[in-house]
Structure 1
Amino acid sequence: MEQAIRAAVSFAAAHGIRASEPTVLKNGSNVLVHLRPSPVVVRVAGTTGLVRRPVADWFARELSIVDHLIGQGVPVVSPSAELPRGPVVHDGETMTFWTYVAHDPGVAIKPTDFAAALADLHQALADCSAPLPTAGPLDDVLLGLPFVGEHAEALRTEHARLSALLPSGGQALHGDAHPGNVLVTAAGLVWNDFEDTWRGPVEWDLAVMRRTKLLDGEAALAAYPGHFDPELVEVCREIRWSQVQIWMQASTRRLPARRAEADAELARWLAARNP
């Protein structure tokens, strides 16, 4: 994390932005550094850079999706105008630059509000023609097999089974549609973090929403106003659970304290496949 902060501050300084109080907003899949007092947040690849290579490809797709949504008038965190567009690699770190949005992370989002916002997002993304992967979360499973050691074959087998159940085609998706990627502001909900975007069924975003522990997922799914296939939501839920194994195991390379949690989750996943 410290290297990510140093790289963000160094790159900004080279472009005339002095960050006297750099603040880490989040240290998860990526490290988000607010270059206080400037209104710039730097997204520095964390675990994403371990699983996805080159991670700049994922960051670039996020920017293209955000451009489309801004054009559609969707409330979304916008790229910073104070630094180069990116993605850039500086001091070995891949990063993009965003406008800081004042928000209240302590406010819980109502399931009905989240479902309505997701439906609006899907409508705005329906005509997005940006080139996107067509098997995003399944790609992650294959990319992350080195992180699961002796259990790689179990993940590979599940990948093959689920790939056969996922229909081709679809539309641009958020890719990681849960409340942790939405900011609660005075003007309403603002979408954020589109690096997981891919082209697939809306049921994927619904499965992510349903699985989250940040709100009542079942209530949110029931409130979603668009059409969806409940059986496909279940298939996507299984894909999500496989993807989670990769990310949790990979995260322990950066955050060793997560090892017990990651191993317990993997044990649950394996047990469900061998009842």
Structure 2
Amino acid sequence: MEPLGLRRAVEAGRATALELGFHVDDVIVIHDSDRVVLRLVPCGVLARVAPSEHLAASEFEVEVARRLADVDAPVAELEPRVEPRVHVRDAFAVSLWTYYEPVGSQIAPADYADALRRHHAALRQIDLGAPHFTDRVAGALSEVAGREQSPALSDSDREFLINVLSGLSAAVSSGKAGDQLLHGEPHPGNLLNTKKGPLFVDLATCCRGPIEFDLAHAPDDVEEHYAGADLDLIHRCRALSWAMFSAWRWRRNDHMPDRDHWRVEGLNRVRAALDRCEPG
């Protein structure tokens, strides 16, 4: 966020916690993008703060977490000392979560795959209306389809992303019979290593699609430990996910840190992923 927006978001998170009776001496910014994640000290609360235009997404995330808690999914829990809901303050949507002290060791590929497998099993146990991943692709496609939304994108790269997004979306979605609820973006940044084991966060990306769409967000060596996964479909999904990532980075109003680097790197990652796909 811009500095002023970040200060307001921090204050919205702090004020919400104080109003609910938590003791807050300090606020530590853990993540700062279009949404921010705050550690509130010493009460042991994690606040996720988003501009109010993302209220529906924040409410959806809380509902996903609430339902997954009932089926013992490996996900971060909502703050148990208050009602599981989203609070609106000063044009921000604030949700409160349990803070987990991180464990320093890296998550082994087999443990990563096991956590994702258990997460998928839990997602199959809940009944939840969620968008199909192709809806998210369509959103990314709209960002690069016209110059108004992405004026800095060159004509050649725009055509490239349009072709990849539309072509791979159709190819990956052709076998919808195997679709299920997914995390949506279970990349390493969304999997915490805690004393309770690996726990997934950022549940607002929950969508429907093949399990390979989730596996495409994990490190390459994780797929080897997930029995039954279609490796070529993972490669196609990985190219598609990087194309979506790239489309969002070229948005006029994107606020990802180091955006200029990731605009170039994202396109390079798309091309590298396409090189691993089988012809056709």
TM-score (norm 1): 0.82
Aligned pairs for 1:1-275 (under 5 A) are 1-28=6-33, 30-45=35-50, 54-104=53-103, 106-135=104-133, 136-142=135-141, 144-145=143-144, 147-149=149-151, 150-151=153-154, 154-167=160-173, 168=176, 170-210=179-219, 217=220, 219-225=221-227, 227-250=228-251, 253-254=254-255, 258-265=258-265, 268=268
Superposition misfits of 4+ residues, deviation over 4 angstroms: 150-154, 250-253, 269-273
Distance 1:132 1:12 in 2: 29
Looking at structure 1, the residues matched to 123 and 216 of structure 2 have their Cα atoms a distance apart, in angstroms, of: 18
Give how far 1:266 is off.
Answer: 5.1
Sequence identity percentage: 26
- 2:143/2:150 contact within 8 Å kept: yes
Give the whole-Å Cα distance in 1 for the aligned partners of 2:118 and 2:267. Answer: 37
Alignment check: 8 A CA contact 2:31 2:37 kept: yes
Q: Which has the larger displacement, 111-120 or 130-139?
A: 130-139
Q: Specify the SS of the correspondent of 2:131.
A: coil
Root mean square deviation of aligned Cα:
2.8
Structure 1: unaligned runs, 5 residues or longer = 211-216
Counterparts in 2 of 1:143 and 1:87: CA distance versus 1, 3 Å: farther
Q: Indicate how the Cα distance of structure 1 residues 185 and 267 shifts in structure 2: closer, same or farther if over 3 A, else same.
A: closer
Change beyond 3 A, Cα 1:265–1:148: farther
Cα deviation, residue 124, structure 1 = 1.4
User: In structure 2, how many angstroms separate the alpha carbons of the residues matched to 1:139 and 1:161?
Assistant: 12
Q: Secondary structure at the match of 1:25?
A: strand
Deviation at 1:205, TM superposition (A): 0.7
Alpha-carbon distance change, 230 to 57 in structure 1, aligned in 2, over 3 angstroms? same
Q: Is the contact made by 2:86 and 2:93 (CA closer than 8 Å) also made in structure 1?
A: yes
- In 1, the alpha carbon distance for the partners of 2:102 and 2:267 equals 37
The 3 A distance-change label for structure 1 pair 230 and 97 is same
The alpha carbon displacement at 1:103 in A equals 2.2
CA positional deviation for 1:16: 2.7
- Counterpart for residue 214 of structure 1: none
3-state SS of paired residue (2:30):
strand
Native 8 Å contact 1:9 1:18 kept in 2: no
1:143 Cα deviation after fit? 5.5
Spell out, residue by residue over 1:7-60, the C-alpha distance to the aligned partner (whole angstroms, 9 max, x if none).
Answer: 111222233334111111222453111111112111112xxx5xxx94222222
Q: State which drifts further: 7-16 or 261-270.
A: 261-270
Deviations 1:63-110 (A, max 9, x none): 222223211122321111344433233111122111112222x32111
Report the CA distance shift for 1:270/1:194 in structure 2 as closer, same or farther (over 3 A).
closer
CA distance in 2 between counterparts of 1:42 and 1:21 reads 12
Note the C-alpha offset of 1:209: 0.8
- Give secondary structure in 2 for the equivalent of 1:34: strand
Deviations 1:166-194 (A, max 9, x none): 32351111111122222222232222221
Q: Hey, what's the Cα distance between the residues in 1 that align with 2:189 and 2:62?
A: 19
- 1:261 match: secondary structure: helix
Q: 1:40/1:134 Cα in 2 relative to 1: closer, same or farther (>3 Å)? A: same
For structure 2, the 5+ residue unaligned runs are 1-5, 276-280
Tell me the alpha carbon deviations over residues 172-227 of structure 1, each in whole angstroms, 9 at most, x when there is no partner. 111111222222222322222211110111010111114xxxxxx2x2111113x2
Give the distance between the partners of 2:17 and 2:171, measured in 1 at CA. Answer: 46
Cα deviation, residue 130, structure 1: 0.3
The TM-score with structure 2 as length reference comes to: 0.80
